[in-house]
A and B are shown apart, each in its own frame.
Chain A
Amino acid sequence: MLKEKREIVSILVDNRANVLTRVTNLFGRRGYNIDSLTVSATNNPDISRITIVFSCTDQSLPQIIAQTEKLENVRSIFILEHNNSLYRELLLVKVRANRAERAELKEFIEIYRGKIVDLSPSSIIIELTGSPEKLDGFLDMLADYQIMDICRTGITGIARKE
């Protein structure tokens, strides 16, 4: 078996109906499973940016890039390389917490620069933004608590250089 690696690609597409479907449909029918997906308009309202995280082998990466480039509505696609790109993700997590636990939690939420965005007598909701690794690390720290719900936006990313 060839080893699969996590890849992140950024795709600039026409901001029109059905374009996201065309891209995801292509990934699906060529056998690539999407791990995370974010889409938003860019500063140019005619163009949207799709960021896709997926796993593939070194051999199959050029293939899906070439196939995606062929779509009429795709303007460009590039790989976001780990060492010269910035990735961010937003996490919302609901944790069961009584008064004592809340105090403990508050301490390391501050270390991670998260925010408590909602509070009830028995639970809190924490908001945290950062690299996916930071979010993973934060969730590891929550292992001793009862997590009631987790929601992550998936990665969006941008290349550092022009």
Chain B
Amino acid sequence: MTGADMICELLLEQGVDTVFGYPGGAALNIYNALYQYKDRIRHILTAHEQGAAHAADGYARATGKTGVVFATSGPGATNLVTGIATAYMDSIPLVAITSNVVNDLIGRDAFQEVCITGITMPITKHNFFVNRVEDLAHTVREAFRIASTGRRGPVLIDITKDVTAAESKLPPPQPAAQPIYTATEEDIIRTSELLSDSTHPVLLIGGGAIASGAEDVIRQLMERCDLPATYTMMAAGILDPEDPRNLGMAGMHGTPAANRALSEADFILALGTRFSDRVALNREKFAKAAAIVQVDIDHSEINKNIPVDLGIVQDVRSMVEQLLPYVKPRRLERWHAKLAGWKEKYYKPSDDPDCLKPHQIMEIVSAMTDEKTIFVTDVGQHQMWAAQHLHHQHPRQFLTSGGLGTMGFGYGAAIGAQIGCPDRRVIHFTGDGSFHMNLNEACTAVSYNLPIISIIINNQVLGMVYQWQTVFYNRCFSETTPERKTDFVKLAEAFGAVGYRASTLEEFKTCLAKALQQKGPVWIECVIDREERVLPMIPNGGTFRDIILE
């Protein structure tokens, strides 16, 4: 078989039945093979390679499987870069397969030649350049192993065109040892002692809990020890929104109760989180009163941002499973009474029946959709409103670019999520800024008849930067008021989608009800006031004391 056939066989061997991508000259052999394998491997053609990379990422986030994206050499490969970096920052398993020019032309600045392995070195877990067909099978298998084990992440394979044409035999797979992580009994005992000795414990849960599928054991631990818990945006959905122990999201736009609890806690069990600068806004002052135990599968995360008292290198699920038999049931009435007071006391956005308020949009969407719905966001104010006010009930239900903060992530990711979960409703929240970046993917949603509802929160400005300029830059609105005249309803129709516009709550409810009946993509433009802010907010470098509530 040819190298290109071998790639298809290897994908099947790895359990891949769906890939995203865009063809091109150097990728012709691969696309010819995909044509022969089209009954077994479904290829989703996007409008742009960036959309394909985000789609493979969204597919991986929604399904837990490794996403696969194809691109041709040169610009095809460079267009993947933002998508790969997005997946890297959020530890999403992704295999990107790019074609390069024939080996004979490598290094000669041939047409559409680019050194994509050099470009992606700092944003991949690992990357490979394959210019010998003998190396192909082993490399593809290694790429899937690296992407999907340990701390997950993107891997890129760059394959010269001659390799995809070369004839070779597929060697049988070699069994690879799976790494097993276990904590020492000593560490588990110390954690359980710190936990039982504390009077103000808090669980801080990050994306690692979702990656390891730990929601049930975490909920058990909270139940048994009466533990209050908060989560980072990457772990939205890990906790039951109705559980009184759930303090809500932590960090810059997190709830006051969660942030205050972290700053007053005497013990923090941090599960699969890196204490990013959006959570530990001030590294020196963060959780100063607390003993911290940090559990992370990546040993380089222990002590990276915040010095901890004990680091355990393990995946969250198996660590919590190991810990559970060691912890004693207890009640924390006084601590919970305090926390409940904080929940009551602080910020609540006010409703307004006459205009559209962002939090009300989120509440209506939560009320009108079922619990299996997948929410995907772009980046900016709408993302924070969605993180704050949607009722996240399950892991892998809220897909968002947390680490890189990629505007334009949403539409591609929503397409990937919908392809991966055809029986579930996918709702894409975006802003007029983010949406303008990659709305070209509407044509993909139309071609594949994907019933994605895009809710465009239109405040006419680049809202998050506009908000910062309002608060910190004396209302100097430098390049955040683009005065665009885009008619989203007409544009949706021009793409072959359906468009609605809503400026009041009632209109929005009607539009959403109609949208939920549609079989193809729908856009709902929601006109909101440009002065709407994301609150509460703790500025960069601040602590709970610096919180802005109005």
Partners in one complex: yes
Residues of A within 8 A of B (CB): 17-18, 21-22, 25-26, 29, 59, 62-63, 66-67, 69-72
- Check B146 for interface membership: any CB of A closer than 8 A: yes
- Check B540 for interface membership: any CB of A closer than 8 A: no
Complex alpha-carbon distance, A63 and B117, angstroms = 25
Given contacts A18-B117, A72-B146, contact A25 B122 (CB under 8 A): yes
When distances are taken between beta carbons in the complex, the residues of chain A under 8 Å from B125 are 72
When distances are taken between beta carbons in the complex, the residues of chain B under 8 Å from A26 are 122
Given contacts A72-B126, A72-B146, contact A66 B300 (CB under 8 A): yes
Q: Which residue, of A22, A25, A26, A66, has the highest number of chain B Cβ atoms within 10 A? A: A66
Given contacts A18-B117, A25-B122, A29-B122, contact A63 B303 (CB under 8 A): yes
When distances are taken between beta carbons in the complex, the residues of chain A under 8 Å from B300 are 63, 66-67, 69-70
The closest CB in chain A to the CB of B115 belongs to A18
When distances are taken between beta carbons in the complex, the residues of chain A under 8 Å from B117 are 18
Residues 110 to 148 of chain B near chain A (Cβ within 8 Å) = 117-118, 121-122, 125-126, 129, 146
Complex alpha-carbon distance, A72 and B143, angstroms = 11
Task: List 9 A-B residue pairs with CB atoms under 8 Å apart, sorted by A's residue number.
Answer: A17-B129, A18-B129, A21-B118, A22-B121, A25-B121, A25-B122, A59-B307, A62-B303, A63-B304
When distances are taken between beta carbons in the complex, the residues of chain B under 8 Å from A69 are 299-300
Known: A69-B299, A72-B125. 14 other contacts (CB 8 A): A17-B129, A18-B129, A21-B121, A25-B121, A25-B122, A26-B122, A29-B122, A62-B303, A63-B304, A66-B302, A67-B300, A70-B298, A71-B126, A72-B146
Q: Which residue, of A25, A67, A72, has the highest number of chain B Cβ atoms within 10 A? A: A72
Complex alpha-carbon distance, A67 and B129, angstroms = 22
When distances are taken between beta carbons in the complex, the residues of chain B under 8 Å from A18 are 117, 129
Chain B residues with a Cβ closer than 8 Å to the other chain, count: 15
When distances are taken between beta carbons in the complex, the residues of chain A under 8 Å from B299 are 66, 69
Complex alpha-carbon distance, A17 and B146, angstroms = 19
CB B180 to nearest CB in A, in angstroms, measures 18
When distances are taken between beta carbons in the complex, the residues of chain A under 8 Å from B126 are 71-72
CB B301 to nearest CB in A, in angstroms, measures 8
Complex alpha-carbon distance, A72 and B155, angstroms = 11
Complex alpha-carbon distance, A22 and B300, angstroms = 17
When distances are taken between beta carbons in the complex, the residues of chain A under 8 Å from B129 are 17-18
When distances are taken between beta carbons in the complex, the residues of chain B under 8 Å from A66 are 299-300, 302
When distances are taken between beta carbons in the complex, the residues of chain B under 8 Å from A72 are 125-126, 146
When distances are taken between beta carbons in the complex, the residues of chain B under 8 Å from A29 are 122
The closest CB in chain B to the CB of A28 belongs to B122
The closest CB in chain A to the CB of B118 belongs to A21
CB B6 to nearest CB in A, in angstroms, measures 22
Complex alpha-carbon distance, A34 and B121, angstroms = 19
CB A68 to nearest CB in B, in angstroms, measures 9
When distances are taken between beta carbons in the complex, the residues of chain A under 8 Å from B122 are 25-26, 29
Complex alpha-carbon distance, A22 and B122, angstroms = 8
CB A16 to nearest CB in B, in angstroms, measures 10
